[in-house]
Amino acid sequence: MAQFRKAVLTEKGLALIQKTQIQEIKLEFTKIATGAGEYGETEELKDITALKDKRQEFGISSFSVIDPKTVKMSAAITNIELLTPYFIGEIGVYALDPDEGEILYSLAVAYPGKADYLPAYNGSVPVSVYLDTYQAVSDAKNVTVQANLGAYALAKDFNALQNKVEELQSQISKLGRVRIGPAETELETGDTLFIVDGVIAEKFEAASYSNMVFSNSPPEGESEKYWADFGTNITDGKLSVSEEETVPDDTVFLAKV
């Protein structure tokens, strides 16, 4: 199992923090890079400006605030498209400096002989290492992460998104359907019934209901649309179908063909 020395904020990273305070600009992280560089246990890291042997770059998959002075970033390190295997001996976090461009913000290095081995991709089963890195900042609320469409989604983030989608789908399903028919029409929870007497005209069945709005009150500034209050039985008036936006006095719902 890999063992890394504590990540060190580089001199350029420290200078960038000072710039964000003086110039009142946001601290923007851009990527995480890995390399095969080797470092001695007593080697000074704060003066380093680039990885010794950079092999791969990855987008930041997720970002969160731990406390006012600390942020957490996660990335998926994968061997997809990797042709030459290597030992991950160095991990760098990069940020955007307004004067110098992208700089090495912090660096973490493995103890000698304690780096993780990342094999070349075999074309079928990829190998992934999920990395969490904690970064010191001056003001966590003033930190952003550069959008990166190439960043891999972490399993935990994907599962959280999937749960949100399922929850939204469940909420939508509770809205029910719009039904048109006699008062004895069988309904399910959440259905809305427009009651009509007798047989529904064929022309009405072909009507469009895109101009119908359900709300607890009429929508502001949308007088051309017609609305129905939730949970209300409409017993007076009639349903109308029209090719024009004409509304007879006794109409309670208009379907425009």
pTM: 0.59
Q: List the pLDDT tens digit at each of the 257 positions of the chain.
A: 678 888 899 999 999 999 998 888 899 999 999 999 999 878 889 999 999 999 999 988 888 889 989 999 888 888 988 999 999 999 999 999 999 999 999 999 999 888 989 999 988 888 888 888 889 888 888 888 865 544 454 445 545 545 665 565 565 555 556 666 777 777 776 666 766 665 554 444 334 444 455 555 655 655 444 555 545 554 555 666 555 555 556 565 555 54
Half-sphere exposure of 175 (CA within 13 A, CB side): 8
| Three-class secondary structure of residue 251 per DSSP | strand
| Three-class secondary structure of residue 171 per DSSP | helix
What's the pLDDT tens digit per position in 191-211? 667 666 655 544 443 344 444
In DSSP terms, 171 is beta-bridged to: none
How large is the C-alpha radius of gyration of the chain? 30
Residue 157 has a pLDDT of: 53
In DSSP terms, 150 is beta-bridged to: none
d(C-alpha 59, C-alpha 34), whole Å: 12
Which residues neighbour 117 within 8 Å (Cβ) at sequence distance 6 or greater?
A: 85, 86, 87, 88
Residue 132 has a pLDDT of: 86
Residue 208 has a pLDDT of: 40
Residue whose token pair is 């095969």: 36
Which H or E run includes 35? strand 27-35
